[in-house]
Amino acid sequence: MKKLILQILGLLSASMLLTSTLFAQDNWPDRPVKLIVSSSAGGGTDMYARMLAQSLSEAFKQQFIVDNRPGASGNIGASAVAKSPADGYTFLVSANTSLTINGALYKNLNYDAEKDFTPIVRALGPLVIVVHPSSKIRTLQELIEMGKKEPNKLSFGSAGTGSTTYLGVRMLEEKTGAKFLHVPYKGVAPAYQDLLAGQIQFMMPDLASSLQLIKSGKVIPIVSEYKTALIPGLASMSDAGYSDVNTNSSFSLVAPSGTPNTIVEKLHKELMMITKSASFTNKLEAQGLIAETDSLNALYLSMKKERDNYAAFIKRNSIVPSD
């Protein structure tokens, strides 16, 4: 009899715990939510995170707070989220660096992007090659010819070896045979500083972070990964004959694996409504970004394919990290 009573009490306890857990998930979020950004303030990832934070705060009537954790090509922020409780109150906003590139680049990462994160939403954005106004280079072909004629004379800045701002140039080198001198920085913002000061000759940043500098004439764009209405007349890689030079530059919101499906699906559903709204779409387009509206499974498969392609490119070019 005593054993039966204990079993009943145990079932009641488990039932109450399950009910409490489901109630907490149904009422998510009931406290502030943190969006950890794996890059410094001012870059495209940060801009995207702040747009998400504002829209989600309004939608859920709860604070979504941006927390920048730059460094190590995005690994610091990604690692922090991978180790966070999977309770729906900590998410990662990252460029595809941390999510589809670094696993092939770094041998001793303390997180596994495929196993440790659940993708929820993503926005795509082109990279654009920009030069200092004092440069005589005005077309991609002129840049390539200089890189062939005088290898490593032209220097370019990046947010680190694992970043798309670096790999995009390496893709161009692989395709054309040109060679440029790489200068890595801890984030795109300090790289801009040296470009504006004339310490480096060019960069291949995301359009979102470079747009205001382009509009003010502080940097000159010579090519974009694809056509954008924000810079009419600017040639695309395809126009220049290099359509296969594509970094798949993107910014994603992911959750730690194990985050309850009810929370992941609730957030994804809300984000799909947000990204289809004219107000949010206009904000994205103003930064040269395009929101994806894939299902959760389609997004997972797309990122897995991208991860495999980057692994092959990194191995083929014997790329090793600089930090």
DSSP 267: H
Residues of the chain within CATH 3.40.190.10 domain(s) are 128-224
For residue 12, give the 3-state DSSP assignment: helix
| CATH number of the structural domain 31-125+249-316 | 3.40.190.150
Average pLDDT value for residue range 175-189? 92
The DSSP result for 24-77, as a single string, is HHHT--SS-EEEEESS-TTSHHHHHHHHHHHHHHHHHTS-EEEEE---GGGHHH
Range of weakest confidence among 2-16, 20-34, 227-241, 253-267: 2-16
**What pLDDT does residue 18 have?**
43
pLDDT tens-digit readout, 162-174:
789 999 999 999 9
pLDDT at 315 over 70: yes
Chain segment 98-131, per-residue pLDDT in tens: 999 999 999 889 999 999 999 999 999 889 999 9
Every domain of the chain with CATH number 3.40.190.150 lies at 31-125+249-316
CA distance 101 to 311: 7
Distance from the Cα of residue 320 to its chain's centroid = 20
Mean pLDDT to the nearest integer, 61-76:
92
User: What CATH architecture is 128-224?
Assistant: 3-Layer(aba) Sandwich (3.40)
Q: In this structure, are residues 78 and 257 in contact, taking their beta carbons and an 8 Å threshold?
A: no
